[in-house]
Amino acid sequence: MTNNATITIAKQEENTRLDSLICSRFSDKSRNYIQYLFKQDLISVNGKKVKKKTICKEGDLIEILFKNLPDIKLDAEDIPLDILFEDADIIICNKPAGMVTHPAPGSYSNTFAGALLFYLKSLPPSNDPLRPGIVHRLDKETSGVIIGAKTARSLTALQKMFANREVKKTYLAICHGYIEQGPIQAPIGRHPHKRKLMTVLSDGKEALTSFEIKEKHQGFSLVEACPYTGRTHQIRVHAKHLNCPIVGDNLYGPKKACAARQLLHAHKISFTHPFTQKTLEITAPIPSDMKHFWEKMH
């Protein structure tokens, strides 16, 4: 089922990004849904298809075709997994950049959850039917170590360990500039005007990250980052807050990106196995795009 809407840009709305204006005009629609309409070419200005970053002018005629989102469901997908560790309860993989953790609006396929379901045939259910067996998540463009639960008992145990901060995560990132070393404690919350972004806010949630420069060259630094809390986009937000955004980060970095994706990699994860009580330290090799970028700096 679809329906149409036509709006005319008022003078006070000039110089506003089209996606922001539509979100404010139709506050009952989610930002993700508006992005979906843009991707499907269902929004036009003066009869022409446009991008979401289009700047509005007084008198512009905006036409919107509101189309229902497709039903989101989790399908098993025959996608090879790069398995780093596996036993009866836990599977740990190296997620490639470009793969989403689980289905969401605008990202219905090529998911880690779908690949896991195909490989294991069944997964322990969680509160969200789109996330069975999912213990934590990585951003789509972040590569590296990700854990899946094969059994209900491991899902519960691992989720509790993450909540209690008993899992140590170590990331590698390539940043613009030479980042300030040591821990940064700066609370993070949703950006008050740009709802797609997170930012440092005085009334945000506690967020603590430690940064250590491993190498630096030609205005870039290879950084080891350890997040001690689990806020959305935490490392990316803290790197930007220190004026050293991650290379290729199109949300928090320079508008002109010098890499195809954000050069952030979940390099290592360590924790005590909840049932064997053995210490696990699992490492995902540095991906080729990060290696090549850093080699070019020398």
Which residues belong to the active site?
139
SS (H, E, C) 233-297: CHHHHHHHHCCCCECCCCCCCCCCCCCCCCCEEEEEEEEECCCCCCEEEEECCCCHHHHHHHHHC
Contacts of 138 (CB under 8 A, 6+ apart): 95, 101, 144, 146, 266
Task: Record the tokens describing residue 35, joined without a space.
Answer: 């992005």
Nearest 5°: the CA angle 26, 39, 129 is: 80
Taking Cα atoms as reference points, which of 13, 7, 11, 17 lies closest to residue 194? 17
Q: Which phi and psi (to 5°) does residue 238 adopt? A: -65, -35
Residue position matching structure tokens 């930007």: 240
Question: CA dist 124 to 113, 199, 224, Å?
Answer: 11, 34, 33
Q: What is the CA radius of gyration of the chain?
A: 21
DSSP at 96 = P
Give the 3-state secondary structure of residue 85: strand
Kind and range of the H or E element at 35? helix 31-39
